Amino acid sequence: MSRKSNSFLDRLVQSRMLARWARAARLAPTLSPGDLRQLRTDAKAIRREVDRVVHFADERLLLPAGGGDGIERPLGSDWAWRPELWRGPVAPCGIAAAESRAMLGQEVTLFHDCKVSELTLRQIRNTRAQDIAPYALRMDVFRFDGSFLSLVLDLPEAGVQGLRRNHLMRLTLDVELEKPLEIFCRLNVKHGPNTDQLVRELPLAAGERFVEFDLAYTKMNEKRVEKVWVDLIFEGPQMNQIVLHDLTFARHPRADI
């Protein structure tokens, strides 16, 4: 009974809220600047929460019908992650003439040193039969007068906690290219005042779509790890369309010998 009552009350509250905002939209052209400013602040606060609900709903409802997140996990994995851009809608969903340090969502940042940017970034829906992630990132590069182009992804706190030198970090990337280019993946681990780096080339020619970083090759202080991020570096990207259909991380301990 309580369940039905709550459901009815929820619908009643929602109906009244919708009516309130519909009325606010009608009255907005006639409001004073002060009232309009407060109304805008309230609307933005509500939109943030609504956008979060839509993002998580899309993330769950657009994943494979059999359940799970579709992330390929090596045996013994203790952490796996797909960044938000590939899970659900982000804002902004696209950037034209993208400047260096432009962000798409909260986790992907573009870096380049072009004098004139002729790059566009856009989040698109995946439509291929083999796609697992609901969304993809498309990057169109026209004339390119810079010396480097990279996308930076900050790993969440869950991927940093408990990180050890006996861990292998796997980055899996499903990429479609208009014409061949080289993609290098650089793992950065900040521990105290130091930052260790591991660089791997994505072996596209061999048909593989993942690289592994062996943290045993770093001098990482396990007790002082503060931040981990990955750079995707694109060599010779001019006049190319690059679509990242999926991007995932998985962490697993090295097998004992």
Write down the domain spans for the chain. Answer: 2-61, 79-253
Nearest to 114 by CA among 101, 125, 124, 123: 101
Average pLDDT, the chain: 87
Nearest to 174 by CA among 246, 125, 250: 246
Taking 80 as the threshold, does the pLDDT of residue 191 lie above it? yes
pTM (predicted TM-score): 0.75
Taking 80 as the threshold, does the pLDDT of residue 123 lie above it? yes
User: Cα–Cα distance between 45 and 49 in angstroms, integer?
Assistant: 7
Give the angle subtended at the CA of 185 by the CAs of 198 and 246, to the nearest 5°.
135
Eight-class DSSP state of 85:
G
Taking 90 as the threshold, does the pLDDT of residue 135 lie above it? yes
H or E element that contains 137: strand 135-141
**Mean pLDDT, residues 21-39 taken together:** 83
Taking 50 as the threshold, does the pLDDT of residue 4 lie above it? no
Domain at 79-253, CATH class: mainly beta
Structure confidence at residue 20 (pLDDT): 81
Q: How far is CA 210 from CA 49, 72, 171, 235, in A?
A: 35, 11, 5, 18
Taking 80 as the threshold, does the pLDDT of residue 148 lie above it? yes
How confident is residue 50, by pLDDT bands cut at 50, 70 and 90? confident
